[in-house]
Every structure is written in C-alpha cells, then in structure tokens.
C-alpha cells in the first residue's frame, strides 16, 4: 500500500457510527474522496446510544449542523450532567456536572479553597459552585450566543443516524443497500480489496472503515486483530433496554441508578424516555433483569425489552492494514459516562487529520493506534473509578468491585487525591479535573490534606469570595427558563 493512492473509502455498516464517519469525511474531505457506505435495512443497529458529552457540540460545528434543526429532527433534549444514585451506599446521591466548578488559580485548583472553607465551617457542598449542577437540580436550561452553560444532548440514536444520512448523501456519499457476505482480501498482503454482497455485487476500496458493531466483520472476523479483555475490572456484560412513554417534563440530566448487580439509566427525550438496565449475568439472570427494568420504569413501555450482550475491552489495533474500526467494532467500555458516540467522533476526526492520501504507512497506523489505545485506557480508568470507590456490601457484585485490584494508572490518581486533594487532566485526556473531583468526592474519598493557599487570604476574604461565586450562580439561575419550556420553544425555531 505504500505506493498506492488512497481515494476510495468504503464504510461497512450504517447506524450511528457509519453515518457519523460518512458525514464527517464528506464534509471535510469530500472533493478528495470517493465515499461509499454499505448497509442493510434487514440488519438492525444497537440504536441505544442516547446520551452524549459536550464534545458533540464541537463536532457539530465542524459539520455545520444547525442546532435547532438537529434538535427538531432527533427529538433531542439537553444534558447538563449525570445524577448518580446508590453508588457509594444505598441512598447516596451525587452529581457529575459538565463545566467547571468555582474558580482556580495557577497555584491551586478550586477544591483546595473549598476544603479550607469546609475546615473553617462554611462553604456548603462542592456542587454549590457548579452552575450546571444547580441548573440541573432546578430543571432549568437555556442556550444563546452568550451562554456560559456547558451542555450535551440526549438524542434518539436511530433518528440521529437518519439525520446524518440526510446530510451525507446529498454531499456525495453513495449508499449501497445489501448484506455483506464476504470480505475479500489480497492473498499476498492480507489487505481488504472488496466487500462482496449477498447479491453478488462487489464494492472495491482502498480504505475500509468497519462500523459493523459487535460483529466486527472486517477488523476481527477477516483480519483477526485480537481483543484486549477488560472484564476483570468492568464485569457488567449485558443490558436490557426499552423505551417508555414520558410521564412528566424532561429533566436536563441523565440518571444512573445503581442496583445489586449493576445500574440502570433513565434518559428523557422530547417524545419518550430511554431506559436500560446494565448488569453482570453472573449475578443476575436475564429474566430477573427484564423484570427489574419493567418494574422500575415510569410510563408505559413502547416495545418489548431488547437484550444486548457485550464485553468490556478494546481491539489490539483500531487500524490494522487498510481497515479502521469505529464504534462498537473497535471496542466497548459500557455506557456509564456516555462516551461511545464521542469515541466514534474522535476516531473519524483523527482519521481526517492523518488521512493517508499517499498510501498507508506503519508509522501512521502506529500513531493512530497509540492515541486510540491511550484514550480508551483513560476512559476505562474513569469508569472503573465509579465501581472501585464503593462502600456497598449488600451483594457479591459490589463486594467484588470494592475489593478488586485496579490498574496502577487509576490507583495513582486515587492516591494523589486522597493524599493531597490533587487531580489532573492530561493533554489528550477527555475527562476534566472537575470530573475526577466530582466523582471521587461523590463516592466518598476524603482528602487527608490539601494546598494551604487559602490560609494566606485575609480574614473574611475566602468567605466573601465563595459567597460571590454562589451569588453569581443564583443570578444566572434566576434568568433561566424551565428546561421543558425552552426545548419546546427552541426546537420549533
């Protein structure tokens, strides 16, 4: 491939992953490429990735997506964070909000000032200094050109794929209907040369993007790339999912509610609610999971619950020969922090930046794979954090989570915060300092020490500063309308 020009891109599979890749490639590199997407209407997609993180907004801006049209077509609502219930102990609650908390200085982040205030007997809760958390709890939201709220979306994944297809096809992406029956490889190099469909049609290409979901037809079944299993730390391996009728106004946050063998989600959209129960099948049967899901939802189910099976882990290589895996075919780290759609978007963005127009090289693949692996490991550690930092002793599942050994990379982060209230975000890491702090505090980690800069402040200065921060949040909150009212008005614009 070193001497071959790469122009023909074939995307195997549609759904969210396929149409994200297609829309991004044709928008950014369209005149330089010949893009074909192969999918079959007979093959269903997982279609349950209904929660996103704020990076989606940046991605949409790159594609020139008008937010109000997107909201209308996907029946989306807004998301300010995730409410965690029963994770540390049964009855406990905490909130992982988007955005920043308080104000930091170069010498010390905000949590150090807050801890000093708490030592002095004031300061309230850490989340009191998060506009996003306070707006979420109040059920308020608005966005405008000058808005300071950091937010993401709850969306209908099937409608989202349809929306992106509506952008990609008019821009030049060719869609071919059909089931892939065979992946044809070069006998000498092993590179994929074409996809053969059940109809006998051959779709030839130079670069193939595997968006075939958990089946991983190209990256694994054809190329046998290999899989790194992370179920020793993330043992949930199944989910039952169902959509239900709305029973009240949509709240601007996701609920993640722990149960004896995992957790369940509740995601409100404009026209319905998405529900799922994630569990470890060694601790809960499929029938018990289905019964628990149906017993715990609000509103009438809109269809029979669907069962999904998965394994936490990642491909040994996201890019192998001339195949790049995106979406579920590249790996999966359960849906707890809504990272699946982000990983698709960052993968296609990385491909756009390093597109091998002059031929595929080992150096390009190596760099792509190293960045992909590092990002997956960072997200993996953040998800493990929620399970490891539990005091629950009510079931074998939670006792295993509490007692399990964890990766050194995560153990060092926890120790750093426990010893000195310090947290950090690497240059290429997705989760912010505020995210690590909110989850560790929410899950009961009490720092033994912290930076003493707050003690250098004049008497009353720290109290006044924190009071001003709270006052600013209260003033912004007072100007915000109810989330449901804003969505109804905004999506019609």
Residues 407, 447 share a domain: yes
Other Cβ atoms within 10 Å of 287 Cβ, number? 9
Residue 86 lies in a domain: no
Residue 72 lies in a domain: yes
Q: Could you give the CA distance from residue 345 to residue 349 in angstroms, rounded to a whole number?
A: 6
- Sequence-distant (6+) residues with CB within 8 A of 408 are none
- Point out the domain boundary residue: 293, 309, 325: 309
Rg (CA), the chain: 23
- Cβ atoms of 38 and 195 within 8 Å: the answer is yes
- Tell me, what's the pLDDT at 5? 85
- Tell me, what's the pLDDT at 311? 95
Residues 468, 341 share a domain: no
Domain that holds residue 105: 96-130+381-479
- Cβ atoms of 442 and 87 within 8 Å: the answer is yes
Residue 83 lies in a domain: no
Residues 164, 37 share a domain: yes
Q: Could you give the CA distance from residue 19 to residue 37 in angstroms, rounded to a whole number?
A: 8
- Tell me, what's the pLDDT at 42? 76
Residues 397, 432 share a domain: yes
Domain count, the chain: 3
Element (H, E) at 207: strand 207-210
Task: State the burial class of residue 184 (Cβ atoms within 10 Å of its Cβ: 0-12, 13-18, 19+).
Answer: middle
- Point out the domain boundary residue: 358, 378, 398: 378
- Tell me, what's the pLDDT at 45? 59
- Tell me, what's the pLDDT at 2? 46
- Cβ atoms of 329 and 219 within 8 Å: the answer is yes
Residue 88 lies in a domain: no
Residues 63, 45 share a domain: yes
Other Cβ atoms within 10 Å of 23 Cβ, number? 25
Q: Could you give the CA distance from residue 15 to residue 24 in angstroms, rounded to a whole number?
A: 14
List the one residue out of 70, 53, 64, 69 whose CA is nearest residue 26. Answer: 64
Residues 453, 389 share a domain: yes
Residue 173 lies in a domain: yes
DSSP structure string for 353-421: HT--TT---HHHHHHHHHHHHHHHHHHHHHHHHHHHS----SSHHHHHHHH----HHHHHHHHHHHHH-
Residues 180, 102 share a domain: no
Residues 298, 286 share a domain: yes
Interval 273-301: pLDDT, tens: 999 999 999 999 999 999 999 999 999 99
Residues 414, 450 share a domain: yes
Residue 25 lies in a domain: yes
Q: Could you give the CA distance from residue 343 to residue 55 in angstroms, rounded to a whole number?
A: 10
User: Of these residues, 7, 27, 79, 174, which one is catalytic?
Assistant: 79
- Tell me, what's the pLDDT at 46? 54
- Tell me, what's the pLDDT at 48? 56
pLDDT (tens, 9 = 90+) of the chain, 493 residues, equals: 445 789 999 999 999 999 999 999 999 999 999 999 999 987 665 555 589 999 999 999 999 999 999 999 999 999 999 999 999 999 999 999 999 999 999 999 999 999 999 999 999 999 999 999 999 999 999 998 778 899 999 999 999 999 999 999 999 999 999 999 999 999 999 999 999 999 999 999 999 999 999 999 999 999 999 999 999 999 999 999 999 999 999 999 999 999 999 999 999 999 899 999 999 999 999 999 999 999 999 999 999 999 999 999 999 999 999 999 999 999 999 899 999 999 999 999 999 999 999 999 999 999 999 999 999 999 999 999 999 999 999 999 999 999 999 999 999 999 999 999 999 998 889 999 999 999 999 999 999 999 999 999 998 999 999 999 999 999 999 999 999 999 999 988 7
Task: Identify the CATH number of the domain in which residue 217 sits.
Answer: 3.50.50.60
Catalytic residue status for 79 = yes
List the one residue out of 21, 320, 379, 79 whose CA is nearest residue 183. Answer: 320
Residues 404, 471 share a domain: yes
Residues 166, 205 share a domain: yes
- Point out the domain boundary residue: 378, 394, 424: 378
Residues 387, 325 share a domain: no
């Amino acid at each position: 491939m070193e001497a071959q020009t790469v122009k023909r891109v074939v995307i195997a599979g549609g759904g969210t992953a396929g149409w994200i890749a297609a829309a991004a490639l044709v928008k950014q590199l369209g005149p330089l490429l010949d893009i074909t997407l192969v999918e079959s209407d007979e093959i269903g997609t997982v279609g349950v990735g209904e929660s996103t993180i704020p990076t989606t907004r940046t991605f949409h801006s790159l594609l020139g997506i008008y937010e109000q049209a997107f909201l209308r077509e996907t029946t989306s609502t807004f998301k300010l964070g995730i409410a965690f219930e029963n994770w540390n102990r049964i009855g406990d609650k905490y909130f992982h909000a988007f955005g920043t908390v308080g104000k930091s200085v170069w010498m010390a982040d905000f949590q150090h000032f807050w801890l000093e205030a708490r030592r002095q007997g004031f300061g309230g809760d850490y989340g009191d200094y998060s506009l996003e958390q306070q707006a979420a709890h109040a059920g308020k939201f608005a966005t405008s050109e000058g808005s300071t709220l950091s937010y993401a979306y709850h969306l209908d994944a099937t409608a989202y794929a349809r929306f992106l297809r509506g952008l990609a096809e008019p821009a030049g992406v060719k869609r071919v209907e059909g089931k892939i029956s065979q992946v044809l490889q070069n006998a000498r190099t092993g590179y994929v040369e074409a996809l053969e469909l059940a109809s006998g049609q051959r779709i030839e290409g130079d670069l193939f993007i595997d968006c075939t979901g958990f089946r991983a037809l190209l990256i694994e079944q054809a190329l046998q790339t290999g899989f790194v299993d992370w179920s020793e730390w993330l043992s949930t391996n199944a989910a039952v999912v169902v959509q239900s009728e709305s029973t009240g106004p949509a709240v601007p946050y996701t609920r993640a509610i722990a149960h004896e063998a995992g957790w369940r989600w509740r995601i409100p959209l404009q026209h319905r609610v998405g529900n799922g129960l994630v569990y470890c099948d060694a601790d809960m049967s499929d029938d018990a999971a289905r019964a628990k899901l149906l017993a715990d939802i609000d509103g009438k189910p809109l269809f029979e619950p669907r069962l999904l099976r998965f394994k936490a882990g990642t491909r040994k290589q996201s890019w192998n020969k001339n195949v790049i895996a995106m979406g579920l075919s590249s790996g999966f780290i359960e849906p707890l922090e809504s990272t699946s759609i982000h990983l698709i978007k960052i993968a296609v963005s990385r491909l756009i930046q390093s597109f091998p127009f002059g031929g595929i090289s080992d150096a390009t693949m190596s760099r792509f794979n190293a960045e992909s692996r590092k990002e997956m490991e960072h997200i993996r550690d953040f998800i493990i954090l929620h399970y490891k930092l539990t005091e629950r002793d009510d079931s074998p599942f939670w006792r295993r989570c509490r007692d399990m050994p964890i990766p050194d990379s995560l153990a060092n982060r926890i120790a750093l915060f426990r010893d000195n209230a310090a947290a950090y975000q690497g240059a290429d890491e997705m989760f912010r300092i505020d995210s690590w702090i909110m989850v560790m505090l929410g899950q009961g980690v009490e720092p033994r020490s912290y930076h003493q800069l707050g003690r250098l402040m004049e008497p009353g200065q720290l109290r006044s500063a924190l009071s001003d921060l709270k006052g600013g949040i209260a003033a912004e909150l007072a100007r915000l309308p109810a989330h449901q009212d804003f969505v109804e008005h905004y999506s019609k614009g």
